Amino acid sequence: MKIKLNSDLIKIIISAILFVISLFFKDNIYLILLVCSYLVVSYEIFIDAVKKIFQGEIFDENTLMIIATISAFIIGEYPEAVMVMLLFEFGEYLSDLAVDNSKESITKLMDLRSDYVNLKNGDEIEKVDIKKARVGDLFLVKPGEKVPLDGVIVSGNTSLDTSSLTGESIPKEVNVGDSVLSGFVNGSGLITVKATSEFSNSTASKIINMLENSNEKKTKAEKFITRFSKIYTPIVVLLAVLLVLIPMLLGGNFNEWFYKALVFLVTACPCALVISVPLGFFCGVGRASREGILIKSSNGLDSLNKLETIIFDKTGTITEGKFEVRDIVSNGVSKEELLKYAAYLEYYSNHPIALSIVKAYNDKIDESEIKDYKELSGQGVKGIVFSKKLMIGSENLFSKEGIIVPNVKTFGTVVYVICDDKYIGYLVIGDKIKESANNLVNNLKKIGINRTVMLSGDNKNIVREVANKVNIDEYYAELLPIDKVEKLKEIKKTTFTAFVGDGINDAPVIKEADLGISMGSIGSDAAIEASDVVLMHDNLSKIVVAIKIAKVTQSIVKFNIVFALGFKLLMLVLATFGFASIWMAVFADVGVTLLAVLNSLRIMKIQI
């Protein structure tokens, strides 16, 4: 840990110097120096304690230290009183230092935002505040600079360092037409980018905002520690009082038992738990961000530990979602005419299949020829094109309409085209299974996820083929978005679930799952907002990494709780029977806290 000379360390040094000087004097000067030493190091603790009393929080670790040290002064144990507070404050300083170093390392990892943007106005380049940039603006990104805003390259080519967002060390080659995200670092090329987001909605801003709010939802362990501290502290104070009163009533020596009560109070300070448990979860979230996994809250990290079943969307999640027209089979019209009808009808749709059809047509679309356009959720599209009543969609759509189409069995998505209620052919749209999906299920089973499910709106043959290729246990096909939600609710009744998806239509299912996981790079804003975990590189193998990080975090947090409570209990017994001094109690409290903090920081370094 890097030592920082701040106000806390300065007051500790001044207090320590006064304490050492006091040892060379006697009587009044000796006492005055010790009191000054005590006040220098403890005045902020007294102020915090008073503030908390007015806020209704009477008992906390500061209260224990104040009661213990003032009581030590009362019975004449002046050096002990000062050293208790000195060691307590030094322990707090070292603990805060560890936390700050952890936050600093995470901040460096997520140092994504730029303060300025090189706006392009004609032939002039103006360096302006990034908050002034608007969607549609052109900006220049020079070699070595961060990409300030999300956008699309309009000129130039380069390689991008995407590791700050994705965790991937291999540079990404990009050319004109490719999308770039804020936070990427430009390599050797000069590129001009057209902004597709403003500063507040950029990927970098969203990620940093999510990290800053990552502790808003507390885990059960954190809530337990909060409740525990509020109940634990007054009980400890009461036991300390009884530790003096009961022996006194039985004829015991007041000073002897009062000293034991002081040791008991100092030993009982819950610093190790209060600091190390939240820090453990914070480190888990930070470690995940380094791996290109954005976990929005410590509660999300905790939920990863509970997973029993993972449910996947197919298109864009298990498969790449990059469709292309692989075959055209016409009936009564030419292939070119069939493709033209399909492209015109799909022109307004943002569905990947529709985009692939328009791309395959590769000709100018006259929008005036498209009328009465209507998208049928999860089934297809209908409208008037060239004064003809057209429909395009799945076999399921036409069976409901009473129109007979051939049952085509092929690996790919089959979309049928109907013109004036007559079948005129079909197109086969192909997709590719993601490389990261190939060993995913096997790796999930190795870490205890024994049930995998796939939900899709595609036809049964394609869904079965994809499920078999990646070894998914169960699959359900030809589902509308609402059907996916109902199916997830059904599965959720008996098992703790996660849903992994990428599209707008996946947002309701992601939200409904016990844990929502979305694909960050190609995923829609709606899916990302609804999810608890975002895979910034769309790499499915990162799900395994996220679960491993969650398991490591949980084991370290549990160890810290058991270790701190066990050690406290041992010291309390020793203090009660007079085998521990107040100095030992302070060393034990500070030592346990530091060990717990250092153990939590292991999460950032441990091999996953």
For 213-271, give the DSSP string.
TTTSS--HHHHHHHHHHHHHHHHHHHHHHHHHHHHHHTT--HHHHHHHHHHHHHHT--H
Alpha-carbon distance 300 to 554, whole Å? 12
Alpha-carbon distance 31 to 12, whole Å? 18
DSSP annotation of 500: E
Alpha-carbon distance 186 to 139, whole Å? 13
Identify the residue whose tokens are 């034990």: 588
Rounded to 10 degrees, what is the CA torsion of 111, 115, 121, 124? Answer: -100
Order of strands across the sheet that contains 413-419:
324-330, 422-430, 413-419, 388-393, 380-385, 370-376
Identify the residue whose tokens are 């908390």: 52
The active-site residue out of 137, 313, 506, 532 is 313
**Residue partners of 398: CB distance under 8 A and separation at least 6:** 391, 404, 405, 416, 418, 423
Nearest to 69 by CA among 38, 110, 96: 38
**Known catalytic residue: 313?**
yes
Alpha-carbon distance 579 to 584, whole Å? 10
Alpha-carbon distance 309 to 547, whole Å? 12
Q: Structure tokens of 589?
A: 């409290």
> Taking a C-beta distance cutoff of 8 angstroms, is the pair 222, 201 a contact?
no
Nearest to 105 by CA among 293, 278, 289: 289
Q: Which residues are catalytic?
A: 313
